[in-house]
Structure 1
């Protein structure tokens, strides 16, 4: 059998390459003569650069940017010819800040803007920004400030709180900085910027915003939209990364689903067509997986190639009928096999054990 292994990261425990290797190791314990092909994936969030670097090569560049919780952090971007690939989570990632130290009302995307400026200085003429897994909720105002945008009545680099009193925004310098550059924003969700289905209401709680702060932060982003482009605030993906998608669209960026961009770059459709079975996975396989996440994207591609797709995850929180609606034949959970505590303590070992069990069920000829 030929097995294509194309997982996302398992948030907080395994990178996508680590997950792919663990699945392969477990499968081969049961089926040592099978051909396995590893294709670690990303939806634009953490792991975006690693997946592209493995496929495209290129040069990794380091940039020191302000940390969200104090000390500066070293972020990387990938330069391939004159295209720069930037991962928002490198500068403003949720995983960089312990839950008890998150300050979403004052955290800014300024550091991400510094990475874009460094890529511009390095001669990039196309910049692809993967947006996902961020700790900020500032509508991308900090990013705009780092590229030269100005404001009256407020600070663009002060998080939602800094936008209090905003009366106008001047984007001229920021737009001039990227005037000769093709910008692409690769998003992991379709969320718009504002309202009940917007960035703040949907993802603010996981970033640490209280119920009261959700209302305040959304109002601040609404004011930012009114001072720039209210229409763009309703665009799919504008709410990605707490509004980083919106800021990049203000600068002329074209939006692409991150999973689609990665899949095309890695030739996933062709690789799926040559496999007998496609395995994918993520930390929690749930209803949010449909909103631009890796398992859904991989399952769509596998389905188009008429290949079965199976999910291995830390937890599986949807039933068989819902899985079929997502194009997934079956889902298997590490927590069901070994319990949540051991799955978190020994994720590679448990995932390998789970893959070995899946091989017994899905291997042809057994």
Structure 2
């Protein structure tokens, strides 16, 4: 039996690569003769570069960039042929932002990472968005690339946008001239408003409920000073508005999961399999919003192959599961308990893989 194993990361415990390996190790305990094809996945957030490197190979270039609060943080650029891939979360991830610090956090490091990618000579640069702790509309990135504000500051978080009325984007656009720039994102929110970056994701980043209106107003100022029309485009609100900055520079937006799936040849690999296995930390109905399990399940359906999921927690019923294109979903917490699932995620996922293999393998 041929099994395609294509999970996302299990946030906080396992990378997508580690998750795929753990599922495969457990599966082989029961069905050692099954042929397992490991295709760790990403939607553009944390793990984006590692996932692509695991499948595509290429050269990893290590650099140091400015973190959200001015500290130095390590980051990597993946260079494959004439394409460079970067993961914005390495520079501005939620794990790098202090509690309640999103109002002062900058995306300058994401801009420096983009400059490092441009320095490879790549003709296409793909920026993975997701998992950010910042909420500055990408102003720091624009600053790093040379954009100039008439007043206020672009490089210190949205709290410093006071007085901002215009931003000269020409120097930044000149830096990316002749390069195809792609924003890989799993969300389609605009920059501002009821469904914008601040109102939707601000609370996850520690912005207090009573601060959301004012912070959103600061991003409205940035939108007016840069390109109001662009701020309304789907994906402009990705990564705290980093999508807006990239779109202002001429980037095209592509769903992260679709981009990764194409890069790793997931459709043809699904057609060659008898069963497709995906997974993530928490499998719930939000998985439909461009997340890995839904994207993998869609590809499995197109290939006329059944798709199942393994997750830290399964928070949907059978009806919702079917709506997501998944035959069945299996929970680590249900099998081993929450404590063990967090203390020994590899062993727990191996145990789950073994149990699921007993049900699905032909051995």
Instruction: Please confirm whether the aligned pair reaches a TM-score higher than 0.5, indicating the same fold.
Output: yes
State the partner residue of 2:34. 34
Deviation (angstroms), 1:95: 2.7
1:136 aligns with 2:134: yes
Contact in 2 for aligned 1:69/1:101 (Cα 8 Å): no
State the partner residue of 1:253. 251
State the partner residue of 1:273. 271
State the partner residue of 2:182. 184
State the partner residue of 1:343. 341
1:16-27, aligned counterparts within 5 Å? 16-27=16-27
- Paired with 2:112 and 2:266, the residues of 1 have a C-alpha distance of 32
Secondary structure of the residue that 1:75 maps to in structure 2?
Answer: strand
Alignment TM-score, normalising by the size of structure 2: 0.97
- Paired with 1:288 and 1:194, the residues of 2 have a C-alpha distance of 21
- Paired with 1:121 and 1:364, the residues of 2 have a C-alpha distance of 50
- Paired with 2:274 and 2:239, the residues of 1 have a C-alpha distance of 36
1:205 aligns with 2:178: no
State the partner residue of 1:148. 146
- Paired with 2:64 and 2:78, the residues of 1 have a C-alpha distance of 15
Secondary structure of the residue that 1:128 maps to in structure 2?
Answer: strand
State the partner residue of 2:286. 288
Contact in 2 for aligned 1:12/1:95 (Cα 8 Å): no
Out of 319, 329, 332, which is 2:330 matched to?
332
Deviation (angstroms), 1:237: 1.2
Contact in 2 for aligned 1:20/1:38 (Cα 8 Å): yes
Secondary structure of the residue that 1:46 maps to in structure 2?
Answer: coil
- Paired with 2:241 and 2:70, the residues of 1 have a C-alpha distance of 22
Query: CA-atom RMSD, angstroms?
Result: 1.3
State the partner residue of 1:75. 75
Secondary structure of the residue that 1:154 maps to in structure 2?
Answer: coil
Secondary structure of the residue that 1:245 maps to in structure 2?
Answer: helix
- Paired with 1:341 and 1:237, the residues of 2 have a C-alpha distance of 36
- Paired with 1:361 and 1:96, the residues of 2 have a C-alpha distance of 41
- Paired with 1:140 and 1:8, the residues of 2 have a C-alpha distance of 26
Query: Which whole-Å deviations, capped at 9, do the CAs of 1:191-234 have from their partners, x for residues lacking one?
Result: 22111211111111111110122112111111111122222222
Secondary structure of the residue that 2:104 maps to in structure 1?
Answer: coil
**Alpha-carbon distance change, 74 to 264 in structure 1, aligned in 2, over 3 angstroms:** same
Deviation (angstroms), 1:102: 4.8
- Paired with 2:349 and 2:194, the residues of 1 have a C-alpha distance of 36
**Alpha-carbon distance change, 232 to 69 in structure 1, aligned in 2, over 3 angstroms:** closer
Secondary structure of the residue that 1:11 maps to in structure 2?
Answer: coil
Which stretch shows the higher mean deviation, 247-256 or 221-230?
221-230
1:319 aligns with 2:281: no
Which stretch shows the higher mean deviation, 356-365 or 29-38?
356-365
State the partner residue of 1:297. 295
5+ unaligned residues in a row in structure 2: which ranges?
Answer: none
State the partner residue of 1:230. 228
Which stretch shows the higher mean deviation, 101-110 or 138-147?
101-110
**Alpha-carbon distance change, 245 to 75 in structure 1, aligned in 2, over 3 angstroms:** same
Contact in 2 for aligned 1:139/1:243 (Cα 8 Å): yes
5+ unaligned residues in a row in structure 1: which ranges?
Answer: none
Query: Which whole-Å deviations, capped at 9, do the CAs of 1:20-48 have from their partners, x for residues lacking one?
Result: 01100111111111111110001001111
Secondary structure of the residue that 1:281 maps to in structure 2?
Answer: strand
Secondary structure of the residue that 1:247 maps to in structure 2?
Answer: helix
Secondary structure of the residue that 1:8 maps to in structure 2?
Answer: coil
Alignment TM-score, normalising by the size of structure 1: 0.96
- Paired with 1:102 and 1:91, the residues of 2 have a C-alpha distance of 18
Aligned length: 363
